Amino acid sequence: MVIGGDTVNTSVVGTYVVTYNVSDASGNAAVEVTRTVNVAADTTAPSAPTNLSASGTTQTSTNLSWNASSDNVGVTGYDVYQDGLFITTVAGTSTTVNGLSPATSYSFFVKAKDAAGNVSSNSNTVNVTTLSNALTYCTSQGNITTDEYINRVQVGSINNLSGNNGGYADFTSISTNLNKGNNYSITITPAWTGTVYREAYRVWIDYNQDGDFDDSGEQVYSRSRTTASSVSGNFTVPTSALNGATRMRVSMKYNANPSSCETFTYG
């Protein structure tokens, strides 16, 4: 058994001489033994974190989480990068990133590190677009719908059979995904309760998410007055459109083209 000697600090790289005494169970025949101990540097980096994902994204924050890395000694933390720049170190496998801007795209990845300063390769990259600020849009409504109304709107995956909604309805709970640079069709189907009247149609999309439909290119469809049972057209989403939730407005007016902010008699 060992009855004397010092403890070697193996966390510090170097060569150490260790001397200890050995005896039997009765304490007889003690022998002094000297040994050399070499403590080598830890040069093994942790494995890269995996399955980085984002959730709960708001206008100004997002939550990141990932699977833990492994290391020959032990992982001491994770460095988080935003758009390629270091922003923080965390001990666990999740963090909340605050201070983001609304309606803005960001990319994130993380790296694992150990006590010796070894750093892993990058995790997968996750891309996040923060939500837009709540916007207030102008009023647009037909006051009398006893003769005609918009019955159905179809665009992308939306196929909204709405019926008579009294001249205005908010369908922002219904959405579809549109990609920049792609062309899409829209179909509007009116309904008449009796006489078929001439109706005019316009559609707007607030591509820059500034709370109005006045900007160039935001009127995406127009059809002058017609008695057609449905009207259709095509539009291309500009590459300058902002990512995220974007408002579309569809309007039908009796006998004249509607504007984006108008209260009229029939339609």
Task: Look at the alpha carbons of 210, 215, 217, 220 in this order and tell me if their dihedral is positive or negative.
Answer: positive
Give how far the C-alpha of residue 56 lies from the chain's centroid of Cα atoms, to the nearest Å: 8
Give the pLDDT confidence score for residue 120 in this predicted structure: 96
pLDDT band of 1, cuts 50, 70, 90: very low
Regarding pTM above 0.85, the answer is no
Q: Are 200 and 223 in contact (CB under 8 A)?
A: yes
Give residue-wise pLDDT tens across range 167-176. 999 998 899 9
Give the DSSP per-residue string, 60-118. S-EEEEEEPP--SS-EEEEEEEETTEEEEEESSSEEEE--PPTT-EEEEEEEEEETT--
pLDDT band of 2, cuts 50, 70, 90: very low
% pLDDT > 70, the chain: 87
Give residue-wise pLDDT tens across range 186-202. 999 999 999 999 999 99
Q: Which domains does the chain have, with CATH numbers?
A: 50-129 (2.60.40.10), 141-266 (2.60.40)
Residue 3 has pLDDT above 50, yes or no: no
The dihedral region occupied by 180, where left means phi > 0, alpha psi between -120 and 50, and beta the remainder, is: beta
Give residue-wise pLDDT tens across range 209-255. 889 999 999 999 999 999 999 999 999 999 999 887 899 999 999 99
Q: Are 234 and 183 in contact (CB under 8 A)?
A: yes
pLDDT band of 22, cuts 50, 70, 90: low
Phi, psi of 106 (to 5 degrees): -135, 155
Four-point Cα dihedral 205, 158, 237, 107, nearest 10: 100
Give residue-wise pLDDT tens across range 31-80. 666 777 766 677 899 999 999 999 988 889 999 999 999 999 999 999 99
